Amino acid sequence: MTPPPPPPRHLPFLDAAPYRMAMGLRALAPAEWIELDAGWAADVAEKERLLAERPHEVVGAVPGSEEAAAEARDLLLAHLTEHHAALFRRDGAVLHGPQGRSWRLDEPGVAPLDAAGRWVQEDLCLMERGAEGWVLTAASLCFPNRWRLADKLGRAMAAIHVPVPGYADRLGVPVDRFFDRLAADRAVWRTNWGIQADARRFQPTGHGGVEGTDVTPATAPDRLVLRVERQTLRRLPRSGALLFGIRTHIHPLRAVVRDAATAAALAEAVRALPPEMAAYKSMTGFRDALLAWLDGAAQSMR
């Protein structure tokens, strides 16, 4: 089979407007729903390690979500074999994937999203409409960004996003309204980014901690990383549930900042973050050191 392409570089701060709380959704072509790249083998291997060692932390479902989760699995299976046929091929009850990997589709005792999550680099979260709004009912979440699946499973969007500054006032109602209206033939995507002193993909610790206090302007480019989430959303046509995908990209900061324009744009984006959002993203411990290095890089790279 054809090997996956090189990983894409998402740098959302380059074309971002001055900071404002917004969904920032863009239309997503069906063929571009799932990202598959040369990091596939490493990401899938890390997922399998977590699923073997910490299964109850990375996979979960509430009773009654099985039918919608199975629909999500089947939708992903059809997508991979149609739009990524050079990498995935179905042979009866077996799905063949990159690098000689294969999975039985009738494996007993494997939850639908558990199975689907092993095929791709994305994390997969299922949302269903309930009396309290859109509820997280099932997930394969191996690369959480400072949140625990056990704390969010079975909870509505408003409760899930309580820690996010400004969500309840500015985004709660628009998000629920958009979820209600999203058509089954339409998909959307957005990006979310932050700078971190921890390069691990699996980070179930909470938001708002102080980290990287020992980072200096000299060590910032090697100690810090840019973490970008490419988030996708699409409706399942039969159940009406929503499938939320989260593809995590982590880039060493030195590899990101290669020219003066990028350094200046990232410095501007960091400065534009309100204090409460910078604290939520756990950036306050190294923010001054980061900005000092970025400002210096913007000058020296001209």
Work out the angle between the directed axes of helices 260-272 and 287-300 (0-180°, nearest 10). 150
CA distances from 214 to 223, 257, 277, 296 (A): 10, 21, 21, 19
Give the HSE-up count for residue 260: Cα atoms under 13 Å, Cβ half-sphere.
6
DSSP one-letter string for 92-139: TTEEE-GGG-EEETT-TT--HHHHHHTTSSSEEEEEEEETTEEEEEEE
Alpha-carbon gap, residue 33 to 142, rounded angstroms: 19
pLDDT in tens, the chain (302 residues): 667 777 778 898 887 655 666 678 999 998 999 999 999 999 999 999 999 999 999 999 999 999 999 999 999 999 999 999 999 999 999 999 999 999 999 999 999 999 999 999 999 999 999 988 999 999 999 999 999 999 999 999 999 988 888 888 888 888 899 999 999 989 999 999 999 999 999 999 877 778 899 999 999 999 999 999 999 999 999 999 999 999 999 999 999 999 999 999 999 999 999 999 999 999 999 999 999 999 999 999 98
Cβ(191)–Cβ(228) under 8 Å? Answer: yes
Alpha-carbon gap, residue 104 to 31, rounded angstroms: 24
For residue 45, give the nearest of 143, 182, 169 by alpha carbon.
143
C-beta neighbour count of 191 within 10 angstroms:
17
Alpha-carbon gap, residue 50 to 78, rounded angstroms: 26
